Structure 1
């Protein structure tokens, strides 16, 4: 047997995408983008408020934080599902391949973003210069690459918007640094499920325990990891279950959608009843919905392909959308636009965010991802798939 027979060349087939989950990711990134516009171009007292109930407007523009927790659940679900497809079991996960895949997906865009943001900081560009007390460019870079930017903000205050969005990346990547090692250590899926369930259900407790520091409460590791754990559990259950019948899937879809919708639409009312438990309702509902969508094979419904596309580009859009938001807000302020027509600025921002994300994905992150995986996973037998 030759050396090449022992280590076959890397396959280049792509694992199929799930359009329904792309739509859920698209909704999440849309809520994040709109939220960051609304903080700077409010819809209150604008034209839309004369046509739509305030509760509906609030659900659309002020749920960016909740949308990040939807991302966490989806991330845990997709990462685990792809790991199960590749290795059959989390107990046989290839740690090196897992880390390589995370690195090639995350690092090209992140490194490029850090180079751009560092240059803009050094040139003193408004909205992009780090000026907070106890904050510096070198310290922010260290926090980004050592995955504790969320803690850094909790201790020193908010960073400029383009830096601030990276808090969620610190939580995700710390989780995924330990995740494959935990899978190998526990071996038994029942033990892993028990540990993940304890983490998932701890979300209200850990958030309540951090109430003394508003920034840290929002961005602490454990609540975010609890949401990711919910996604992992959902993926394990979805792969373990027999294919559910149409009625069961519809019931799960309805339950998941209702839970998410109630959280987004009536969050302020339900908070009085559930408190921090409201975030647990959101993550569990998202997990239930993902179980229902796991074997969905249909294409995105007509008229929603743009949203599914945003879902596919969610990482690139998330990292770069604040460039567009700050640019458009600067123009909005310069021309002294009438706030009554503020809602007209939202659609162009979303389109521009999509265009920038698409340019970054197709011009940089996807080519880098493929090239690095082809080099570093040369001996792998499994398909190259972009998460």
Structure 2
């Protein structure tokens, strides 16, 4: 999953206060997640597109959803930390009540609604939504989702149905949200926190390799995800220390990030197989380069023609939580229509806009109204006014996605 952001991103790239570069990166990430879940059921490389497009490209489109979640983790760490430094001036000055209130109001409404809907679908026996694996149960899944250990629950019992499964990344992010303010108050200074973050960020290949005995837990364990989030936190500290850099530095970071991202997306663990899980470290480093390039190029005009992808980024939390409803429905229709593999790519055409539309409906009817109401109940009027002027998001969602 994605990032669940909070309010306005630090370092706006347009008049509305949003960082358009980070929105674009987030949009690409959530699109890859959706394409991944479609591709597991209707692979593009088995369609007629394989006759005209390289299979490597089609595989890259279908099988980078997991990597995309780690991009979300980097963005989450960056945005959460940037907002704390902007709002509270320093790590030592973090407002615990305000931090937790913002995270709760952003995350809880959609999460509780999703868990409720999935519970009803399970109890109603709706196909694709019934929890039936041995060792699993509805109460177990509910407590795991709301207790932020669904990743561990799956590591022990196996995969849950798709709509439940996406919550693994939220479990990692929320544990980060719970502990981050406490760590800030204990360390109090970036100079003390930074060495710990560096060690954690660089541990990603080691922690993944150490978990190779359990494929699910290797993918969804806390430490690898925390390593990616730590990378984003380090980026925010760098951006705060050097708020302005030379344009050539920004261009270099953008190029390095793009090259690293393409290397991982198209090659996967191929070249980096010698380093076992080293390719994931390349991925988080590339994501950080792109995030910093977006931050330091704030005020520049957004790339034309990509407004649709930025809109995916703005809705990434809602799309992340709800897209499996569309995926399951489209796949059912595809199979009912005969399941012609050659024409399978055509089913992507309605699926993608429907995922966006459902996310948009949830945002307008549930996320934003509920978040504003909850913030009004939990924060002072002054804090609410400041928060609402920021434009709420998720990595609080895969989350403040633009916190």
Whose Rg is larger? 1
> Is the contact made by 2:91 and 2:189 (CA closer than 8 Å) also made in structure 1?
no
1:119–1:186 CA distance, 2 compared to 1 (3 A): same
1:212 to partner: Cα distance = 0.3
- What is residue 112 of structure 1 aligned with on the other side? 113
1:257–1:137 distance in 2 versus 1, CA, 3 Å: same
Match of 1:4 in 2: none
How far apart, in 2, do the equivalents of 1:369 and 1:128 lie? 27
Matched position secondary structure for 1:91:
coil
Is residue 377 from structure 1 mapped to residue 341 from structure 2 by the alignment? no
Aligned equivalents of 2:246, 2:258: Cα separation in 1:
18
Structure 2 SS opposite 1:200: helix
Give the equivalent residue in structure 2 for 1:348. 350
Aligned partner of 2:166 in structure 1 is 165
**CA distance in 2: counterparts of 1:18 and 1:242, whole angstroms:** 15
Is 1:208 aligned with 2:212? no
Task: Give per-residue Cα distances to partners, 1:285-305, cap 9 Å, x unaligned.
Answer: 111221111142245322211
Calculate the TM-score normalised by the size of structure 1. Answer: 0.94
> 5+ unaligned residues in a row in structure 1: which ranges?
1-12
Corresponding residue SS for 1:44:
helix
Could you tell me which of 295, 303, 306 is aligned with 1:304? 306
**Kept in 1: contact 2:45–2:59 (CA 8 A):** no
- The Cα shift of 1:259 comes to 0.8
Distance in 1 (CA, whole Å) between partners of 2:365 and 2:93 is 34
CA deviations over 1:107-145 (Å, ceiling 9, x no partner): 000011111001000000000010010111011100011
Cα deviation for residue 379 of structure 1 reads 4.8
Match of 1:260 in 2: 261
Unaligned runs of 5+ in 2: 1-6, 10-16, 393-402
Which residue in 2 is equivalent to 1:368? 370
In 1: Cα distance, 2:209 partner to 2:309 partner:
34
TM-aligned CA deviation for residue 154 of structure 1: 0.3
Number of residues paired by the alignment?
375
Aligned residue runs from structure 1 range 231-250, under 5 A: 231-250=232-251
1:108–1:369 Cα contact (<8 Å) kept: yes
The answer to whether the Cα contact below 8 Å between 2:29 and 2:69 also exists between their aligned partners in 1 is yes
Contact 1:22 1:309 (8 Å CA) reproduced: yes
User: Which residue number in structure 1 is paired with residue 327 of structure 2?
Assistant: 325
Residue in 2 that maps onto 1:72: 73
Q: Which position in structure 1 is the counterpart of 2:395?
A: none
CA offsets 1:61-114 (integer angstroms, 9 cap, x no match): 100000000010011111111111111111111011101111000000001111
User: 1:141 maps to which residue?
Assistant: 142
